[in-house]
Amino acid sequence: MAEAERYLGLMSGTSLDGVDATLIQFEGDRFVTLSSFYSPFEAGLRKQLAELALSSQWTVSTFAAAETGLTRAYAAAAHRCIDASGFTPQEISAVGAHGQTIRHWPKDAYTCQLINPSLLAELTGIGVASFFRQRDLAAGGQGAPLVTGFQAGLCDPAVHNTVFLNIGGVANISLFEGSAPRLAYDTGPGNSIMDKLAEHYTGQPCDADGRLADAGCAHEGVIEAGLSDAYFSTRAPKSTGPEHFNLLWWQALPGALSLSPEDSLATARNLTATSISRAILSHRKEGRLYVFGGGTRNPGLLKLIRDELPGYQVDTTATLGINEDFFEASAFAWLARQLMHRQPGNEASTTGAKGPRILGGWFPA
């Protein structure tokens, strides 16, 4: 029997809501989740991160303060997750820490994930694997998505067409034939536009349960204007982020500024659902679809996606035994294990890299 190994995954996405932490135990290629913990960002840190992500006007001291604050938030979430598991830091092989994406410019082979892995190792007492995206970019890839290797182990080989859909700030899909990855890329906005509109109109970080959107009517003209963006017709592999799909992008769409708050949220929700479903249908008309990420908490969004994909059986990743809120954190625990075992973490066929690469840097405790 393979010796048990435990890896802690830490993730914060472009939604800027908080830190997801999950502890995974691996025995060979099989794994089980031991504990998970979510820690929302404090308002001040969230504001700092949003300003860094969307503004080009910041100082080194602002960057340093945000990086240190984020790293301490990661460490606090890590300790809460470890405490809940009943294990000690000494019984954990490594931490896989994604960090907070501030810039992602694949055309320039550049990405910036805010994190201080040396400080995180010091605060947790566990070695840290981090900076996973840079090596794939250096090899000519998009640096994203990086979770297809993890997803492949969850596919049923008997199912010919399986799609994983992540609805975070940005939405991305991974497509498989059996358990072989075919393609993976960002489809466009996930929660990002909806969240920014909710914050703009209500001061709240999101439209809880999609209630504001439920009270509105979608404006087809604005949706089609949004879908005419060149990104949607660009061939994969491709990736994007809040530097593209943000509130300023939305406000520049013809007719968007004349919509009521309710109609704005309904329109943004439909645009997100349509961009996702069109991307999936451009490859296959039927199959299995597993959804994860914050968008799973928007029942209206999931209903729209189901309605637009009648040939797909749509479930969340909970049916695979992985909580949909902690799927990406689980994947970064897996990436840390890949690094420790000196195994590739990317799928060159999906990122566009020249070949498989061992991803990440190692920061010992």
Q: Once rounded to an integer, what is the mean pLDDT over residues 207-225?
A: 96
Contacts of 208 (CB under 8 A, 6+ apart): none
Please, which pLDDT band fits residue 2 given cuts at 50, 70 and 90? low
Vertex 251, ends 246 and 252: CA angle to 5°?
A: 100
Q: What is the pLDDT of residue 290?
A: 98
- CATH number of the domain located at residue range(s) 5-143+326-363 in this protein: 3.30.420.40
Q: pLDDT digits over 64-121, tens only?
A: 999 999 999 999 999 999 999 999 999 999 999 999 999 888 889 999 999 999 999 9
pLDDT digits (tens, 9 = 90+) for 156-213: 988 999 999 999 999 999 999 988 888 899 999 999 999 999 999 999 989 999 999 9
Quick one: pLDDT at residue 241?
83
Q: What is the DSSP letter of 41?
A: P
pLDDT for 304 equals 98
> Within 13 A of 341's CA, how many CA atoms are on the CB side?
14
pLDDT computed for residue 346 by the predictor:
93
pLDDT, tens digit, for every residue of 229-278?
999 999 988 888 888 999 999 999 999 999 999 999 999 999 999 999 99
Which pTM does this prediction carry? 0.90
Same fold, 5-143+326-363 and 155-320: yes
For domain 155-320, give the CATH superfamily. Answer: ATPase, nucleotide binding domain (3.30.420.40)
Q: Where are the domains of the chain?
A: 5-143+326-363, 155-320
CB-count burial class (<10 Å; 0-12, 13-18, 19+) for 3: exposed
pLDDT on residue 110: 94
